[in-house]
Every structure is written in structure tokens, then in C-alpha cells.
Chain A
């Protein structure tokens, strides 16, 4: 069992007010799962990870790694990083430039205190780890002679060679170019599934989070805004922040006017009455926000019918992206973004209707 309870950490930069980097974070992770901490920079996700690693000392809370309490502010427990038995891949990879590939990977075994590794065992474990990340045969090279992608694999091999209880990854793909990043994403997923190692992954890249994770915790200003599977986070965001940060979303202001058909709620908007599902009941008159993903919206020339939410406007811009076309539609009170298939052709200035299927909308209180 892995758990973080009510974690708090603040910084006081010289001459500045206190910054609450982590403000009461709590989550559990089942063994073998892949959890991603996702959020914009400065949201506290890296600080949380560093607290897990033992590189930062939290102000309050409790951390349990593999049923061992490694931090408990109330009981005064703080196990230093070197004794937590974890593996970590850093954003900069932190490959030691004065060592060979072999020595980098062997380091955790050489400094181990729990048990002594014989020379033969070190050799065996290092080459296993290097094979696992497809760096077999590179043992004797100076670490600095590796390319960015290879250094990343090397860091990964070093992170798993001592069979840690938990693997921590701090934006490991952010320094790679786009193609390599996509490739490494798949390899990372495969490796984690094969080793079955409990993994915590920090990133600000929502597509990485969606692609890799069993679960995602979305961070907002030192707190967890929402936690769930990638599907839940994408399909049912619980706040404007989450809807906006994961993918992109259009937002329409309105006020609940009463129950509609099929358990939907009728919303009075500047574009007429819209229908939208809500997780909980809303009183009529409650100010609400409707979120709709650009790819769920449909553009038509003729009015598509009364059972959809419809806005009218004209095409302001079109952006051709190859496999898709983005349209910005100007309506009476603002703009809305529609992501359409490339065969859906409209010209700039053309009058259009934007149809929003009610089931694809997400509603929440403002």
C-alpha cells in the first residue's frame, strides 16, 4: 500500500510571502498501478513527487511507501531519500558525466546498505537493466557519449536496477523531441506493465498523462482538483479548470431553468434554452457553466433540429491542420471552437449553425 495523507509544504522565498506549494494533498496508490500527477507549472506536482522521494521535507502530513511510514510530521518520522528504496528518473536525467554507462547503472547497487551485492551479481543486474531499456552493449561507453533518448533510457535503467518499491518519474520526456517522446511513451508503458512496479509520474503534458496512466490526479494550486481514470478525467471533468487543462473546451454561461427531458437539465443561455447533464441536482436559477469539447461540435448550413443545442454564427477563421480543420465561429456574444473532419468545408464569413449534442456536454455550477 502506498499513501500520501494531508501533505503540506510551503516555501518562503527571501523577501516574499509564503507560497503554499502543496496544500493538503492526499492520495493512495494500489501496488503496481501507474499514477500521473498532472498540472501546470507551479501547481505543486513536482514538490509532491520530491516529498515522496525524500528530497524535500514536508511541513505536515504522512507518507507511506510499501506499508512503511517514511514520513509522519506528527510522530517526527523522516526517512531520508537514501533509505527509502525508491527509483527516480529526473527531468535532466542526472546522468553522472564522470562515469561510464555501466557505472551509472551500478551505482545504486554499489552504495546499497540493505544488502551487499557481489561483483557477479552487479554485472548480471546491470546488464539485465540495460537490456530492458535496449542499451545492452553500451556498458563501456562514457555516459556523456549517449544521445538524449539514450540518456533517458540509461536514467530509467538506473532507476529500476535495484528493484525499488516505487518508481518516480519527474517529467522524463520533456527534454526529448516530439517523435522520440511518442516512442518513449510507448516503451515506458510497456516497461512498467512488464515490471509491475508502482509508478508515480509527473507531467504537465495532458496527452502523456492520458496515454500512460491508470489514474490521473489533476493538480491545481497545491491541491488535487480531480482524480480518476483518463477517461473519467477527459469525459467528466468536475470543474472548469480540469475541463480547460485536459484537452480544450468551449464554455457557455447560463442559469438552470428547470428539469428537461431524459433527466437532463434545461439551461437558459444567450443562445436559447440548452440541455445538459449534471452529476447532481441543480436548483432552478443556479448559475452554471456548460463545457463542450471542440471535436463534439457539428457544423451545418441548415438548422439541425430542435433536439440539439444550437448556436448560430459565422466562420471567423479556419485553421487547416491536415487530418483536421479547426473553425473559429463568431456568434453574438463571443467565439466558439469547432474541430471538424477535413471533408467539412466552410468558407470564412459563411453563416453556420453549431450543433452541440446534449449528451456530450458537461455541466457544473459556477
Chain B
């Protein structure tokens, strides 16, 4: 890999650069889902190769694709389990959801990853953030919502990456939507409607 050379910016350079930024520069394009699968499959191989016969080098995208496909075919089950079950304790990962602001009225650059983890009948939702959305003077609250949007449970106030107990009997099947809203501190226990992050739980085998 070639080195990135250091650049030095004076205050006026920085000002010029900031002024050159256009609205389009704030837009982001997500990679197609297949990219992550390929990265993960090849990343697993790279990880496994380190310390054995040295690091495997993928010099060309075509080789990379072949390696990824082989890894996917041969070890799909192990790959999926390995990807999702990174914990070393006895708990089981039941479902996961990537959370973003698509289709929501409150824009945020934050992203979150929610995971339902169970130890026997005791289940919890672990939530991790890239960055925490800024609720201003209000609070962030985590919810699970049913597919008909008829029932929802509040799992509690969110102040950062953390774990939230799931009430007995509440599962990702009955409550597939995971949602974080901005709630005024007004004592009203109903959802404010101001959702800032949302995802759909997908079951893990």
C-alpha cells in the first residue's frame, strides 16, 4: 500500500477548502450489500491466514471475487454464524438490525446497530452507535414496535451504547421495528412521533 503523504494547511487554506465544499459533498452513497459480504468473506480468510502462512494478498479484484465466492459457498453457514456471534459468552444472537434515518423526518448522520441477544428466556437489545444523535434538551428513547404499528414497548432512555432488557414474550417476530425517538421531558409516555433512527430486525440462524 502506498503511503499517504502529509499535507499542511494554513488557516486560509482551510477556509478556501471549506468554501469549496458543495451541498453534494454531504451526500453519501451506500455500497451495495454484496460488497459487505465479499469484504467479510475475504476478511475472514485474511484473518485466518495471519500467523499461519502469512497474509494472503489479493492483487486483483477478479481474484478477490473468486476468493469471496469460494468462501461464501464453502463456508456460508460458518461465515454467517461467525459474523454475528462475535461474543464469547453463552448468549445467542437472535436478530440484528442496522438503524439509520432513511424515510424519517429527523435527519442525522448517526448510524446504529441493534442486536437481540438471549440467554435462555432472558433477552436484551444491545445498541451500538457510530455517534449518538443529538437530542438537544430532550431525551433519546428506544422502542420496539409491531408490524401493524398498533403496539410498542419503550425499552428506556438512551444515553449511549448500552443494553436494554426486553420484556418477557416480546420478540423480533412480534416487534420487528426498532426505533429511537427524541422525546420531550414532559412526562408523556407515548411516542412523540419524532423518530431519528430506525431499523428492521432480521433473524439470525
Note whether A and B form a binding pair.
Answer: no
